[in-house]
A and B are shown apart, each in its own frame.
Chain A
Amino acid sequence: MNLRAVWAIYRMEMARAFRTVLQSIVSPVISTSLYFVVFGSAIGSRITEIDGISYGAFIVPGLIMLSLLTQSISNASFAIYFPKFVGSIYELLSAPVSYLEIVIAYVGGAATKSILLGLIILATASLFVPLTIQHPFWMVAFLVLTAVTFSLFGFIIGIWAKSFEQLQLVPLLIITPLTFLGGSFYSINMLPGIWRTVTLFNPVVYLISGFRWSFYGKSDVSVGVSLGMTIVFLLICIAIVAWIFRTGYRLRN
């Protein structure tokens, strides 16, 4: 295994995050704070507790997931799309690096950045609302699993995209709506029957539900199902990445 190459790519990706610290870290922290001001304080003060949890505290896991999903996708998709766009990908393709090493480095870098971001949002949230984490191990497990899965998903989008527009298309048109409709700001039990059933087809519901359970021990769907769905999505992403590399799809053709 070419560990030096993995480290070189990973370090380069992390350096990019620190170079664009305003965009990578500060802006999500500001937008999260705004969510708390608007949803937590202004609207939340008029909403009663959900499942015995104050509304401000209830939305914290959903908010972290919202950032985790969007940032994992954008970090990883941009990281692989940008060298493709400027042409510097030639170096990666001509280096003695296996596909697995490329994925570990890029997905590792993207996931690390979004996990750090998730933890920063968690710390920011703790300034606004009292937080409890009942299952810290599972909290970290969901955090890491989700970050890795969606970084893989972002990597696939980055390879598939032929333009900046396509790069934005999936996150904007699919991921953001799914996240907002996935129970970030409400419990799906609050929805009328038919919509509750429809919502169960949204994979993000399982991520948020499982993650919220790790905080408060309460969930919309069983935690085992949440974990299972996350792993299924992870395996689907791995299968697609394996296919991309086997065929050289949009990389070596």
Chain B
Amino acid sequence: MPSILSISGVSKTYATGFTALKEVNLDIERGEIFALLGPNGAGKTTLISIVCGIVNRSSGTVTVDGHDINRDYRAARSLIGLVPQELTIDAFESVWATVNYSRGLFGKPANPAFVEKVLRDLSLWDKKDAKAITLSGGMKRRLMIAKALSHEPRVLFLDEPTAGVDVELRQDMWAMVRRLREDGVTIILTTHYIEEAEAMADRVGVINRGEIILVENKAELMHKLGRKRLVMELRSPLTAIPDTFSRYALELSPDGGQLTYTYDNQAERPGVASLIRDLEAGGIQFRDIDTQNSSLEEIFVNLVRREQ
């Protein structure tokens, strides 16, 4: 099945001369949750803004479900819902009015029952007559989501959806994103919280300095680029790592009671077996042994650092 969103050779240079995107190519599969990671100023928001029609691109093409975002902008845009990073709502409108306005703006006939469901799902129903200005930050964030969902989009962009949101609301949002995915909605989220991508995404893209440096299935990425750590609790503490172990990447804890070996789990010979043999031969005994996978965050930091 063709991808739902296809970005091909997209570049953007602002009038100031700043190049925010360089020849970006990206395909988003139907029904997936795609996490776009990148440091501040990497071009995440510019890319989303181009797809949604908020910013003109300098070159390249973008299609949404086969519809070109310029030639066939009505069909393309009506498929997209956008929750921007900033809480930008007309402060003096009521929740009910502003959500219905969004639905109308996207050309959908009035459907009070559907709008009610969206507001109930987001725990905003009892605030439907409240003006946006009176809502808390978390509620405003949910209102932004309600506006984006009001026109039943098939592709939902969440630009830093949980920035400044408390833990409970973040969990609620994750649950909502999973529900939407079950309904067949494709979700593209940008986030600073790598744990968010780790918990939810099917695939991960990393953008840095306007270039996509990696797109990978999350599990494969963590498998491929992940490093493993072997942590050994020693029976008797060491003052220093003996020179005979210099060929291993070993670290000794400050108290000398823990030895950590970091290795590439994709390597032909990760060296775990030989290390254990050498430790035994050297008379270093351990009481416990544990292995840990690196997190997506570590992978991300390493990738971005490598680029720089």
Binding site for B on A (CB under 8 A): 2, 4-5, 7-9, 11-12, 15-16, 19, 82-83, 86-88, 90-98, 248, 252-253
Contacts and interface: CB of A to CB of B under 8 A. Distances in A.
Given A12-B97, A87-B86, A5 B107 contact: yes
B90 A88 contact: yes
Interface stretch (B53-61, B176-184, B280-288): B53-61
Contacts of B74: 2, 96, 98
A2 B147 CA distance: 18
A8 B105 contact: yes
Given A4-B104, A90-B82, A96 B54 contact: no
B136 interface: no
A8 B267 CA distance: 60
B293 to A, nearest CB: 39
A86 B73 contact: no
A87 B88 contact: yes
A96 B103 CA distance: 11
B105 A19 contact: no
Contacts of A19: 92
Nearest to A253: B15
Interface string B99-129: 0111111111100000000000000000000
Given A83-B90, A253-B15, A90 B54 contact: yes
B104 A90 contact: no
B105 A90 contact: no
Given A8-B104, A98-B74, 14 more contacts: A7-B104, A8-B101, A11-B101, A11-B104, A12-B93, A15-B97, A87-B86, A90-B49, A93-B54, A94-B53, A94-B82, A95-B105, A96-B73, A96-B76
B56 A252 contact: yes
26 contacts: A4-B104, A5-B104, A5-B107, A8-B100, A8-B103, A11-B101, A11-B104, A12-B93, A12-B101, A83-B90, A86-B91, A87-B84, A90-B52, A90-B54, A90-B88, A91-B105, A94-B77, A94-B80, A95-B105, A96-B73, A96-B76, A96-B78, A96-B106, A248-B56, A253-B15, A253-B56
Nearest to A87: B88
Q: Nearest 4 pairs between A and B by C-beta?
A: A8-B104, A87-B88, A96-B74, A94-B52
B89 interface: yes
B141 to A, nearest CB: 14
Nearest to B53: A94
Contact of B109 (A4, A86, A92, A93): A4
Contacts of A248: 56
B14 interface: yes
Interface in B232-265: none
Contacts, number: 82
A79 to B, nearest CB: 11
Contacts of B92: 16, 19
A183 B284 CA distance: 102
A16 B98 CA distance: 12
Nearest to B55: A252
Nearest to B92: A19
Interface of B: 14-15, 49, 52-56, 73-78, 80, 82, 84, 86, 88-93, 97, 100-109, 147
Contacts of B97: 12, 15
Residue with the highest number of chain A CB atoms closer than 10 Å, among B55, B74, B100, B105: B105
A2 B107 contact: yes
Contact of A253 (B14, B76, B102): B14
Contacts of B89: 86, 88
Nearest to B109: A4
A7 B108 CA distance: 12
Given A2-B74, A90-B54, A97 B90 contact: no
A4 B109 CA distance: 7
Given A2-B107, A5-B106, A94-B77, A86 B54 contact: no
A4 B84 contact: no
Contacts of B82: 90-91, 94
A160 to B, nearest CB: 15
A101 B77 CA distance: 15
Contacts of A98: 74
Contact of A252 (B54, B93, B106, B107): B54
A76 to B, nearest CB: 17
A5 B105 contact: yes
A9 B52 CA distance: 19
B54 A95 contact: no
Nearest to A12: B101
Nearest to A16: B92
Contacts of A95: 77, 105-106
Contacts of B14: 253
Residue with the highest number of chain B CB atoms closer than 10 Å, among A86, A93, A95: A95
A246 to B, nearest CB: 11
A90 B53 CA distance: 9
A253 B106 contact: no
A185 B92 CA distance: 38
Nearest to B100: A8
